[in-house]
Amino acid sequence: MVEEILSRHSPKFHGMKEVYRCIHQKKRITKAELLERTRMKQTTVVRHLEALKQYGLIRVASFDDSSGGRPPALYAIEPEAAFIIGIALSRVEATITIVNMSFEPVAEETFAMTEKHTPSLTIELLKKTIHSLLEDHHIMKNDILGIGIGTVGPLDREKGIMYPEGFVAPGWHEVSIVEQMKEAFQTEIFLENGANTAALYESLSNQESRKTILYCISGWGLRCGVLMNGSIMQSRKGDASSFGEMIIDVPSGRTLSSCISYHHLAAEVSRLMLTGERSENKNEIMEHVVNELKKGSPEIENVVLASAYYYGIGLANMINVLHPEIVVLNSDLMNIYPAYYDKVIQTAEAFIFQDLTFQLAGNTENPISIGACVLTFQSKIG
């Protein structure tokens, strides 16, 4: 039913969507507040409220305190009126999250991405997993508002095609993921960079202020998403890795990404390792890095903190250009070794000229997949 309402574009449904959007954003709202926010006539708002209740999209959640007479009703959305599917697809893993209309997760599953996960195998696994989750939670296909995909670029949003870099399995070039998923589920599919959908996730707690958010995901590479006043700042090529290409060391021409990636750390640490311990496997070297950091190895700490210094310089450059109010850093290494995060922030703060809030992303949430659900909702609500 939500799909039916949000797909219509007549003036009648435009007004109804506006009322629904306000209720969704405020969580609980009175008719008087709706009149003030929408600037609609009282009869129009009342008509939309009655229609939305009839369609099962909203409900009277409770009654507000009264200064005398009948207390005003507080309207809220009906969370189970529909569901949204979000997919986070990275070089390491794929996560499928199903949320209700309040963006509360109701189902979730993750599988690893290996050298065997070609596009065809991955897309089939995504379809199979989604079907299984829907069946397990008794959700019908026509209860799905849409599917959002947050992934690695470059990508073509309009054509729904991925051209991702760095996937270990072969075949990840010109992958028509939107078309293939649409055939299976007969609903709209929205494709976006994972860093951007993660920034949308962060906006959930800042919807009223529509703040500018910079979201950075670092690991084997660096991906950055930017939300400007509540809207994604999209690059033409759909590539969230471009910030990592800024020159951070002029004499050598080294880029930010090349100074902070796990590839760089693995190479630096490999040179420190004794000949008998030396490994060509970068994953094994990074496991060695983590273990040594936990032991407090000064040599490994020096390598990691030197990388953090460059990250702080690059981050300061981004901040001075974009002027975000919130900066979120998503990094497994920062969660494992907090001194790395502290060094990045300390360095950045020495070169920035504005007040802002730094945050370390939690390691238990799924910002990319839930953010992809937010993208889907915003794209449908208009």
- Domain match, 341 and 375 both: no
Phi/psi class of residue 160: alpha, beta or left (left: φ > 0; alpha: ψ in -120 to 50)?
left
Dihedral (CA of 307, 113, 95, 182) sign: positive
Specify the pLDDT at position 275: 44
- Domain match, 97 and 176 both: yes
* Structural domain total, the chain: 3
CATH number of residue 140's parent domain: 3.30.420.40
- Domain match, 180 and 194 both: yes
- Domain match, 94 and 64 both: no
| Residue 242 burial (C-beta neighbours within 10 Å; 0-12, 13-18, 19+) | middle
- Domain match, 248 and 316 both: yes
- Domain match, 224 and 295 both: yes
- Domain match, 195 and 132 both: yes
- Domain match, 70 and 101 both: no
Q: Which domain holds residue 68?
A: 2-79
Specify the pLDDT at position 237: 63
Structure tokens at 219: 């690991």
- Domain match, 233 and 331 both: yes
DSSP state of 253: T
- Domain match, 106 and 242 both: no
Specify the pLDDT at position 221: 87
CATH number of residue 29's parent domain: 1.10.10.10
Dihedral (CA of 140, 142, 143, 145) sign: positive
Last residue of a domain, one of 79, 101, 121: 79
pLDDT tens, residue by residue, 55-100: 899 998 876 655 555 677 899 999 999 999 999 999 889 999 999 9
| Ordered alpha helix ranges (H), the chain | 2-6, 11-26, 31-38, 42-54, 119-136, 177-185, 194-203, 256-260, 262-272, 282-295, 298-322, 332-336, 338-349, 367-381
- Domain match, 348 and 256 both: yes
Low-confidence ranges of the chain (pLDDT < 70): 1-10, 63-70, 206-209, 235-240, 273-280, 363-364, 382
Query: What Cα–Cα distance (Å) separates residue 178 from each residue in 56, 163, 342, 373?
Result: 30, 13, 40, 15
Helix (H/G/I), strand (E/B), else coil: 247? strand
- Domain match, 123 and 230 both: no
| Predicted model pTM | 0.89
